[in-house]
């Protein structure tokens, strides 16, 4: 088993990415937003995985920081989609809550590596 597979935050990020993939396959999101959201949500999961494989605390921390930045990026995209009436308030809140949980766990991992 790889180290990232033991991390709860990896599994949460993976579930979120699967939700995003399903959402994008059924929504009418413009091409640029589609691509940005797909890449940002995938980046969360992949940077958690990559960071877990690094040997030094600063290296691990850097990848978790990048994953957290991608989490924030997803929140901003969903805020934009809400303002553009692509998603409703309930859909926004659901995604926001998922991302907030991922962000808090990543923050704890980052702080633990200082």
The whole-number average pLDDT for the span 97-111 is: 98
Structural domain total, the chain: 1
Whole-Å CA distances, 77 to 9, 57, 103, 108: 21, 30, 15, 24
Share of the chain above pLDDT 90, in %: 98
Report the pLDDT value the prediction gives residue 41, as an integer from 0 to 100.
Answer: 98
The dihedral region occupied by 40, where left means phi > 0, alpha psi between -120 and 50, and beta the remainder, is alpha
CATH at residue 63: 1.20.1440.60
DSSP 3-44: GGGG-HHHHHHHHHHHHHHHHHHHS---HHHHHHHHHHHHHH
Q: Is the dihedral of CA 25, 29, 33, 35 positive or negative?
A: positive
Local confidence band at 3 (pLDDT 50, 70, 90 cut-offs)? very high
Q: How many residues does the chain have?
A: 114
Range of the domain at 46: 3-112
The whole-number average pLDDT for the span 88-98 is: 97
The whole-number average pLDDT for the span 54-61 is: 97
Report the pLDDT value the prediction gives residue 80, as an integer from 0 to 100.
Answer: 97
């Amino acid at each position: 088993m790889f180290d990232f597979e033991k991390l709860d935050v990896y599994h949460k990020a993976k579930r979120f990415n699967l939700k995003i993939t399903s959402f994008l396959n059924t929504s009418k999101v413009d091409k640029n937003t589609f691509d940005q959201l797909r890449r940002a949500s995938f980046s969360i999961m992949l940077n958690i995985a990559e960071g877990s494989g690094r040997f030094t605390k600063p290296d691990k921390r850097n990848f978790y920081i990048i994953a957290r930045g991608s989490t924030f990026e997803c929140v901003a995209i969903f805020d934009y989609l809400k303002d553009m009436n692509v998603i409703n308030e309930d859909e926004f809140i659901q995604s926001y809550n998922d991302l907030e949980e991922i962000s808090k766990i990543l923050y704890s991992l980052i702080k633990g590596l200082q």
